[in-house]
Amino acid sequence: ECVENISSQYGDTISVPCSPGDTPSQDIFMIKWKYDKEDGTSGDLLVKRQGHNATITAPEEFTGRLSIGEDNSLLIANGVLSDQRTFTCMIVMASDITELAVEVFIHKSPEAVELTNNPAAVEMNKLTTIGECSAEDANPAAKITWFRNDAPLKDDGKGVVITASETVDPDTGLSSTLSRLQYIAGKEDAAARFSCAVTDTPLRSTPVQFTINYPTEKVSLEVTTPGPFLEGADITLRCHADGNPPPSSYVFHLQGEEVTVEDEDVYTLSNVTREKTGEYKCSPLDNASLLASHNITIHYLDVSLSPSGRVVKSAGETLPVTLQKDASSKVTVSWTKNQASLSEEPQFERLKYSDSGLYECQVSLGELTSTHSFELLVKGSPVITSLREQMSADGKHKVLSCEAEGYPKPSVEWSGINGTSEEESDYVDGKVTHRLTVMPKANLTVTCLVMNDLGSDSKNTKVSSLLVHIDDREVTMDKQDQSEESGDQTKLAVGIVIALLLATVAVALGYWVYIKKSKQGSWKTGEEDGNTEESKKLEAPQKAEV
């Protein structure tokens, strides 16, 4: 006897077929459905005779649920688990009685799968329950699979331990499955998503994540304020620990002093001084053996310049210049005199008037800059450095120039002559030049007198008369500077004039002889030409003598 198997969904109408092969329905006298009881005996459910309505003889558990289909199949409404049995249809024909047995299975998937008891944080490297998954009221009992991201997890008895248990509802006979995942998490699991699913169904729990807690192994001390640091700066230190969660409080070791910060990881050093240069440390409050350190350098720049302010010195004296620098590292120094840069530090072995000026030095260390200055005045009684006489550009005057050095600025006076105009140069580097334009009418001795608070100096010079006039052409002789020389020139000029006169007389004499010879006969042709040319040649020197 072969037994057919059918399965039906829980709650659906179970359709148990009665398939007597190709027997024509008019040959069937009666159909009788029976079922197998728990005790092994069989009980009647329903009888249907040809031409009659079915008669139900089923016990209470089937009340209101049974009917028979057109094809004689047994229809059991609201299938429940107790309907999982063997049903038999007995077919009574004219000549034969056949029985067909059908075994019924009732399937029920769980309504949902739910992941619970999942912790928010998990300690690293320790077998921990990640969660519990339940799938209720199923038949057969649900099988639960755990996933890490999309990969199924298999119980390996060490890092992955999956424990499942099933319970059966005594009323419905449906099973509930509870599966617990225990897992050893590592840092790499911090972003992993864990979920569970019911095998062979689309049911899947919402995924869960957890943070991984692990102890601090490394501590670092970070200086969050960007350096370099100058005196007066505020510097913020941050202590960082790699544990999760990080320690809540830290201890900062500040050059022998210990400061605990609660629920914070920063400490700010305010208004630092050079003494704060050194090593700084920090550690978590709960583990002093984890220490991080950082060296901090506070830059400083102390400069003193000697001399300073206004310095008045005498010409010829020595002035030592001392620039003292005390700095945290190498500095750059630049010097200027009256805003123009100097290539090196000024040195004054013998002070000159030209050394006077505003000296500034700038000492730099990164952004730190210190500027110092002194103003030097070289004083001295005036000295005449030059007294000269020149012709003016138009040749009609003489210009006397008296050049003097001294500080304070010397006054210049002339005596022995009255000038037509005078001018004075700018007073630069202790030097002044005074020019006097004169027209001396006699040979004179002129004195230049220079004076300041500290003393005076004077010099004489001889100025020759300008009243030597030969014709209008004074330029030739007056280009000479010295009066003695001018006298010699005059003599020379007179000599030239006499020589020219003599030459004219000689030419005139020659001409006269020539005329005489022409009148005697021979060279008459060239007479007029020669006459004109010679006359012209003679005109220039003759005019010069007048």
Cβ of residue 105: shortest distance to ligand NAG, in angstroms? Answer: 31
Taken in order 354, 355, 359, 363, the sign of the CA dihedral is positive
Region class of 339: left (phi > 0), else alpha (psi between -120 and 50), else beta: left
* Strands 298-299, 229-230: pairing kind: parallel
Q: Decide: helix, strand or coil at residue 36.
A: strand
Which one-letter amino acid corresponds to residue 24?
A: P
CB nearer ligand NAG, residue 199 or residue 418: 418
Q: How large is the C-alpha radius of gyration of the chain?
A: 67
483, burial (CB in 10 Å: exposed 0-12, middle 13-18, buried 19+): middle
- 287 is an interface residue for ligand NAG by CB under 6 A: yes
Tell me which of 289, 520, 525, 532 binds ligand NAG, using CB under 6 A: 289
- 483 is an interface residue for ligand NAG by CB under 6 A: yes
Q: Map the footprint of ligand NAG across residues 418-437, applying CB under 6 A.
A: 418
Segment contacting ligand NAG (CB under 6 A): 195-203, 254-262, 291-299, 481-489?
481-489
Site string for ligand NAG, 368-407 (x = CB under 6 A): ----------------------------------------
- 159 is an interface residue for ligand NAG by CB under 6 A: no
CA angle in degrees (0–180, nearest 5) for 511-513-517: 115
Tokens linked to 224 = 């969050």
DSSP states of 375-403: EEEEEEEEEEEEEEEEE-TTSS-EEEEEE
Contact by Cβ (8 Å): 60, 51: no
Three-class SS string for 134-177?
Answer: EEEEEECCCCEEEEECCEECCCCCCCEEEEEEEEECCCCCCEEE
Q: Map the footprint of ligand NAG across residues 191-230, applying CB under 6 A.
A: 217
Hey, how many other C-beta atoms are within 10 angstroms of the C-beta on 91?
Answer: 21
List the beta bridge partners of residue 229.
298
- 290 is an interface residue for ligand NAG by CB under 6 A: yes
Segment contacting ligand NAG (CB under 6 A): 58-66, 274-282, 286-294, 328-336?
286-294
Residues whose CB falls within 8 Å of the CB of residue 272, separated by 6 or more in sequence, listed in order: 229, 231, 232, 233, 234, 235, 298
> What span, in angstroms and rounded, lies between the C-alpha atoms of 210 and 208?
7
CB nearer ligand NAG, residue 149 or residue 421: 421
Tell me which of 8, 370, 433, 464 binds ligand NAG, using CB under 6 A: 464
Segment contacting ligand NAG (CB under 6 A): 130-138, 287-295, 364-372, 509-517?
287-295
> How many chain residues bind ligand NAG (CB under 6 A)?
15
Segment contacting ligand NAG (CB under 6 A): 158-166, 199-207, 479-487, 535-543?
479-487
Q: Map the footprint of ligand NAG across residues 48-87, applying CB under 6 A.
A: 52-53
Segment contacting ligand NAG (CB under 6 A): 118-126, 283-291, 370-378, 508-516?
283-291
Segment contacting ligand NAG (CB under 6 A): 159-167, 331-339, 343-351, 482-490?
482-490
Tell me which of 86, 244, 465, 518 binds ligand NAG, using CB under 6 A: 465
CB nearer ligand NAG, residue 55 or residue 531: 55
> What span, in angstroms and rounded, lies between the C-alpha atoms of 155 and 404?
111
Hey, how many other C-beta atoms are within 10 angstroms of the C-beta on 503?
Answer: 12
Cβ of residue 498: shortest distance to ligand NAG, in angstroms? Answer: 18
CB nearer ligand NAG, residue 242 or residue 302: 242
- 447 is an interface residue for ligand NAG by CB under 6 A: no
Edge-to-edge strand order for the sheet containing 444-452?
411-415, 444-452, 455-463
CB nearer ligand NAG, residue 149 or residue 418: 418
Segment contacting ligand NAG (CB under 6 A): 285-293, 308-316, 354-362, 396-404?
285-293
> What span, in angstroms and rounded, lies between the C-alpha atoms of 212 and 218?
17
- 492 is an interface residue for ligand NAG by CB under 6 A: no
CB nearer ligand NAG, residue 70 or residue 484: 484
Contact by Cβ (8 Å): 267, 259: yes
Helix (H) or strand (E) holding 535: helix 527-545
CA angle in degrees (0–180, nearest 5) for 357-361-362: 145
> What span, in angstroms and rounded, lies between the C-alpha atoms of 540 and 546?
11
CB nearer ligand NAG, residue 28 or residue 363: 28
Contact by Cβ (8 Å): 1, 88: no
CB nearer ligand NAG, residue 133 or residue 402: 402
CB nearer ligand NAG, residue 289 or residue 532: 289
φ, ψ of residue 456 in degrees (nearest 5): -150, 170
Q: Which residue has the tokens 């009323």?
A: 171
Tell me which of 6, 77, 358, 442 binds ligand NAG, using CB under 6 A: 442
- 484 is an interface residue for ligand NAG by CB under 6 A: yes
CB nearer ligand NAG, residue 476 or residue 531: 476
Contact by Cβ (8 Å): 232, 221: no
Cβ of residue 149: shortest distance to ligand NAG, in angstroms? Answer: 30
Tell me which of 443, 460, 531, 542 binds ligand NAG, using CB under 6 A: 443
CB nearer ligand NAG, residue 488 or residue 527: 488
Cβ of residue 322: shortest distance to ligand NAG, in angstroms? Answer: 55
Binding site for ligand NAG (CB under 6 A): 52-53, 217, 287, 289-290, 417-418, 442-443, 464-465, 483-484, 487
